[in-house]
Amino acid sequence: MTCPLSAQLVATRQRKAATQRKIGLFQAMADTLFIRADEQERWREACMASNNPDGAGTWQRLANHTRNEAHEYVRRIDLLQENLR
């Protein structure tokens, strides 16, 4: 028979390990999205340089949305890290 305390410790460790994996995934997503937002900003600048304000506006909106999504992942990482303590 397993000791209830031992089972509880195993469950806690598993929960923490799952949270750490999720934090790693969220960090990868945030990093990727920030990189993509920077790339979209460069495309916006290229559109402006080629006198294409409509294209520039589209890329600016996409970059802003992408950056907002990245910040949301960062916020979720912070919440998960607080729950690990």
- Say what the alpha-carbon torsion angle 46, 47, 51, 54 is, to the nearest 10 degrees: -170
**Is 23 in contact with 80 (CB distance < 8 Å)?**
yes
Give the model's pLDDT for residue 7. Answer: 75
**Is 64 in contact with 31 (CB distance < 8 Å)?**
no
Regions in the chain scoring below 70 on pLDDT: 1-2, 5
Residue 85 has a CB neighbour count (10 Å cut-off) of: 4
Give the model's pLDDT for residue 12. Answer: 84
Give the model's pLDDT for residue 1. Answer: 55
pTM of the entire predicted model: 0.83
Give the model's pLDDT for residue 85. Answer: 77
